[in-house]
Amino acid sequence: MKITVIGSGYVGLVSGACLADLGNNVLCLDVDPRKIAILQQGGVPIYEPGLDQVIQRNVAAGRLRFTTDVAESVAHGLIQMIAVGTPSGEDGSADLQYVVAAARAIGRAMTEYKVIADKSTVPVGTADKVRAAIQEELDARGLSHSPAGKGLEFSVVSNPEFLKEGAAIDDFNRPDRIVIGADDERAVKLMRDMYAPFQRNHDRLMVMDIKSAELTKYAANAMLATRISFMNELANLAEKVGADIEHVRKGIGSDQRIGYHFLYAGCGYGGSCFPKDIRALQRTGEDFGLPLKILQAVEDVNHAQKNVLLQKITARFGNDLKGKHFALWGLAFKPGTDDMRDATSRVVMEGLWAKGATVTAHDPVAMKETQHIYGERADLRYAETPLDALPDADALIIVTEWKAFKSPDFDAVKSRLKQPVIFDGRNLFEPSSVQEQGIEYHGIGREI
């Protein structure tokens, strides 16, 4: 099947490469010539484990190509998959300008029936806007669409993605569910054909109305974010009452109705999805006169939780941190990615700098992105290894739960730190084990 993926960012590249891996002929479009040049030269402009191998394999096989030519991309695919960004607007709503621009480009160039699949995370009602934009362009060309079959026909479907950064290839190839929102059988059949390879073991495909499909994506992320903020709020209470949040987590997670997924206390969530999608879903509620009070609380708790490490540091060292130096392990918002969007590390570093402290940071993949964001600063240095970040530091701060941080040589850590103090924002270690090493330990919800 010939498929065009519009947008060669995170979702577009993963989707396009994995669809090509199934034997489809995929053309990925992006209006950023720099990004397409990198891809055409064999590089990958984002970090996602395993993605470079999938791309290189399918480029070599001739199943995956990249272009900036809109006319070529529209002519190529029977299915036109829109996977462009939907950043937050100033009011918190999803900015749909790139989605609508992609739809208009399709309407201006299409010469035969197309299925336009919204892969981008979009609010309820976006399919209607996509359909209207395409129709306006067709009307301007004198190619009106009609149920009677006259003119140039097209279908719009919602096909939300459920990819986790750091595990996106596996998520795409072994999906929990494939959601298709559509209102005509022709489009449903073509989408079923595209996803047929995933249906051999059991039926993963869920067909529903378009608006339900659009809401499903937001609802899924909202539920996961809610679990995180719920546990973080309980962790703060655990510290006050003298309980251990890890014991609480195990106690409630063993209930099959609750489970353990996304039930970890920490220093707040970040990334490109949860913060943006929570705000967009709240805005949708406001537009319909229904404030989503739980989601407002989820966002408020997360905002406060990102400052918990700073509060612990100032409680230990004082509010004036001039002359203090800290080692920071982890910059990305989560392991397996170099994504720094809404990362807790940014809140921590900026808070430390504002109080006069300096930082030496290490992250397995996100240091280049951090340099891109902050440039050269006298109060920020980078270390090639975790241990290299420690000399002369008054404490170690852990923000991202990379596997490489989970079993350190505590003797080496203690010997390198100026003061043997760890602030563990992801509860990687057992407090008693660390304290037995002669290291002062501060976790999240584990102050007993």
Q: What is the pLDDT of residues 296-314, one digit of tens each?
A: 999 999 999 999 999 999 9
What's the pLDDT at 150? 61
Average pLDDT of the chain is: 95
Residue 448 pLDDT > 70, yes or no? no
What's the pLDDT at 146? 54
What's the pLDDT at 147? 55
What's the pLDDT at 143? 85
Is residue 108 within 8 Å of residue 152, measured between CB atoms? no
The mean per-residue pLDDT over the stretch 65-92 comes to: 94
CA distances for 112 relative to 101, 143, 154, angstroms: 19, 11, 8
144 vs 213, residue with greater confidence: 213
The mean per-residue pLDDT over the stretch 204-212 comes to: 96
Domains 2-208 and 306-442 share a fold: yes
Neighbour-count burial for 16-28, b at 16+ CB within 10 Å, e otherwise? bbbbbbbebbbbb
What's the pLDDT at 272? 85
Residue 148 pLDDT > 70, yes or no? no
Three-class secondary structure assignment of the chain: CEEEEECCCHHHHHHHHHHHHCCCEEEEECCCHHHHHHHHCCCCCCCCCCHHHHHHHHHHCCCEEEECCHHHHHHHCCEEEECCCCCECCCCCECCHHHHHHHHHHHHHCCCCEEEEECCCCCCCHHHHHHHHHHHHHHHCCCCCCCCCCCCCEEEEECCCCCCCCCHHHHHHCCCCEEEECCCHHHHHHHHHHCHHHHCCCCCEEEECHHHHHHHHHHHHHHHHHHHHHHHHHHHHHHHHCCCHHHHHHHHHCCCCCCCCCCCCCCCCCCCCHHHHHHHHHHHHHHCCCCCHHHHHHHHHHHHHCCHHHHHHHHHHCCCCCCCEEEEECCCCCCCCCCCCCCHHHHHHHHHHHCCCEEEEECCCCHHHHHHHHCCCCCEEECCCCHHHCCCCCEEEECCCCHHHCCCCHHHHHHHCCCCEEEECCCCCCHHHHHHCCCEEECCCCCC
What's the pLDDT at 89? 84
Is residue 398 within 8 Å of residue 424, measured between CB atoms? yes
What's the pLDDT at 434? 95
Catalogue the active-site residues: 273
Residue 246 pLDDT > 90, yes or no? yes
Residue 149 pLDDT > 70, yes or no? no
What's the pLDDT at 438? 95
List all residues 6 or more positions away from 404 whose beta carbon is below 8 Å from its beta carbon: 364, 386
Residue 346's φ and ψ, nearest 5 degrees, are: -70, -40
What's the pLDDT at 229? 97
* Dihedral sign for Cα atoms in the order 46, 226, 275, 234: negative
What CATH class is the domain 218-303? mainly alpha
The mean per-residue pLDDT over the stretch 89-97 comes to: 88
The percentage of the chain sitting over the pLDDT mark of 70, rounded to a whole number, equals 98
Residue 202 pLDDT > 80, yes or no? no
What's the pLDDT at 91? 83
What's the pLDDT at 282? 95
Instruction: Look up the CATH superfamily of 2-208.
Output: NAD(P)-binding Rossmann-like Domain (3.40.50.720)
Domain borders along the chain are 2-208, 218-303, 306-442
What CA–CA distance (Å, rounded) separates 123 from 211? 9
Binning pLDDT at 50, 70 and 90, where does residue 203 land?
confident
Instruction: Look up the CATH superfamily of 306-442.
Output: NAD(P)-binding Rossmann-like Domain (3.40.50.720)
The mean per-residue pLDDT over the stretch 170-178 comes to: 94
